Amino acid sequence: MRELSAKLQAPVKYIAAAFSLFYLYVSGVGLVSTEANVGLYLLFTNMLCLILYPLSKKTPHNKLLAVVDGILVVLGTASVIYWIAQYSEYSAKRVGMPNDLDMFFGVVMILISLEVTRRALGNVLAILGLVFVVQLYFGPHLPGYFAHKGFSVTRIIEYNYSTMEGIFGTVASVFATYVMPFLVFGAFLQRTGGGDFFIDLARALAGRISGGPALIAIWCSCAFGMISGSPIANVMSIGNFTIPMMKNAGYKPEFAGAVEAAASTGGQFMPPVMGAGAFILATLTETPYSVIMVMAILPALLYYLSLTMMIYFNAKKNGLVGLKKEELPVVSEVMRRGWYYLFTIVVAAVLIVAGFSVPMVAFWATIFVIFCSMLRKDTRLTMTKFVDTLEEAGKGSIMVGATAGTLGLVMGGITLSGLGVKFSAAILSLSFGSIFLSIILIGLIATVIGMGLPTTASYIVLAILAAPSLIQMGLPPVLAHLLCFWLSMTSNVTPPVCVAAFAAASVAKSDPMKTGLHACVLALFLYLMPFAFAYAPQVTIYGYGIGKVLEIVTSYGIATVALAAAIQGWLFRNLKVLERLVFLAATIFLAIPNVILDLVGLAILVMISAWVCRRRSAIAA
């Protein structure tokens, strides 16, 4: 970011604070038009991004470039205000007949959307957005599946700017309506000590167990991730104290970084908040967010159970012990200082289940956190702290918001050209109609797409291009999208470009590729759960009877432990290759949703566990 001059610091502070306060107000009590809700979100985001991120990182203090930035801020602001003011008249009278001002401000908004993305996130997503705009014009000249009839420049600009299908479409609407209020909630939770409470509680509960420092990293990242929904933010916030702690306990830097990367990735599908992609998923599938939250809870808990068991078995295998008692906070003291913060997540979950709108849930959760802060003098919010927290939330939203306009261009390019339908047909053809092969293909596509895109952007692309093919094969829409949502997360931990692992490697001072490979192994459940969505939908628990739910919870819970033993090569003692294969076989039987096969898998697991335990006793004797 640019180092702001004294003259700019105060305006930026109050712009960011006003941004957060407006969306906190709208989420709870405000009634604004759809165009104002979406438009002002992009206005604030673009304005902050253009001020905070310089045109050139090589010459951030160049005065001439600062003048260019000022011109871009004015033009970007004018283009949004014009759109808000003119949308009603356009939709009533000018559809298909845009005027000169529509065209001028449309070009400005498209270019600024791409520029904002480039400044905040680099070239890849910006170039992708530009490609999807340009291909609309050159459609007749494109090869194979990519060919289409082509569109005029006027139609391209109108579709992407004047309508609610492109820049001001679904992505910007979801970010403004759902994501921004929860970012404000997360900022207040952190500022008032709630984040520290959850971290200290995890340290107090897990610190003395074998592999305690790594277990602390897992559950701290889980607690933080369910609020932030951002793997990178999670790694850089929590990892700065968990990674050094793991290294001091004897973990190699690559493994310590991998633990944090894998744990931080899970925050994007851990209710109640999850990541921005989850809100888009609910919107695209027209499914209430409360249902998405219920469907996500068991897979998320299984993911973290898998991580926990892998870390624990790894620690036992390598003779690592927990932290000393004097190095850890006391549970009773931690609870005395912040027990009421536990109810924050309960309040959010109860309100969602009770049918409150998601923005309203964020509003009341924020109010509850502010009330909690008043219970202790050292966490009490003064007016200065209140404004600072709003500023922090406003600035923190940029990394997500900077993608909104460009993702709208991507969605607009795919929808207008019909590429989504064609791509789905290609997947159907290459997979021969097999869901199993389709999941593998989509996983490969997700890895490639994820090399250059944030996970939310990656999910949106998969949702448009790949989910329809799964739906055509008979998979319910919400399961198809959940499958794509999980696969879009693999880019965080899958080499060669694994953004969360690379971020963790920078903190751990480790080799990025080795860190990514370790993270890939630890996050194995990330690659397996999409198959469960297709072949064992009971794992989502929603709509199933108590018997089915208990069966799937039991079988998958046990399978998770068996898989961890097979991967890490430890249970009671170091396992031999053949023993690990038997544990893997038991895992496969338990994962198939059939009572008879579950019993077979359980019998295999009991026998191999007894054999391993007996052999350990014999060796010890």
The tokens for 373 are: 């802060």
Domain boundaries, the chain: 6-121+151-171, 543-621
Span 115-170, pLDDT tens digits: 999 988 888 888 888 998 999 999 888 887 778 888 999 999 999 999 888 899 88
Mean pLDDT of 408-415: 86
What's the pLDDT band for 329 if we cut at 50, 70, 90? confident
**Per-residue model confidence (pLDDT) at position 453:** 65
**Per-residue model confidence (pLDDT) at position 47:** 93
**Per-residue model confidence (pLDDT) at position 46:** 93
CA gap 66, 53 in Å, rounded: 10
DSSP H or E segment with residue 56 = none
Specify the length of the chain in residues: 621
- Give, as one character, the DSSP assignment of residue 130: H
Please choose, from the candidates 307, 334, 303, the residue with its C-alpha nearest in 3D space to the C-alpha of residue 211.
307
What's the pLDDT band for 48 if we cut at 50, 70, 90? very high
The tokens for 281 are: 């998923």
CA gap 40, 441 in Å, rounded: 39
CA gap 361, 185 in Å, rounded: 10
Mean pLDDT of 449-471: 78
Burial of residue 161, with CB atoms counted within 10 A of its CB: 0-12 exposed, 13-18 middle, 19 or more buried: buried
CA gap 362, 25 in Å, rounded: 11
Span 270-285, pLDDT tens digits: 877 676 678 888 888 8
Q: Side chain identity at 228, as an amino acid letter?
A: S
Phi, psi angle pair for 403, to nearest 5°: -90, -15
Under DSSP, is residue 558 helix (H, G, I), strand (E, B) or coil?
Answer: helix
The distance of Cα 298 from the centroid of its chain, to the nearest Å, equals 17
Average pLDDT, rounded, for the chain: 83
What's the pLDDT band for 621 if we cut at 50, 70, 90? very low
**Per-residue model confidence (pLDDT) at position 156:** 92
Span 342-393, pLDDT tens digits: 787 777 767 766 777 778 888 988 898 888 888 888 788 889 999 999 998 8
Please choose, from the candidates 430, 528, 434, the residue with its C-alpha nearest in 3D space to the C-alpha of residue 487.
528
The tokens for 154 are: 């006027």
**Per-residue model confidence (pLDDT) at position 452:** 56
Sign (positive or negative) of CA dihedral 570, 572, 574, 576? negative
**Per-residue model confidence (pLDDT) at position 620:** 46
CA gap 384, 372 in Å, rounded: 18
Is this structure's pTM higher than 0.75?
no
Please choose, from the candidates 400, 405, 515, 503, the residue with its C-alpha nearest in 3D space to the C-alpha of residue 454.
400
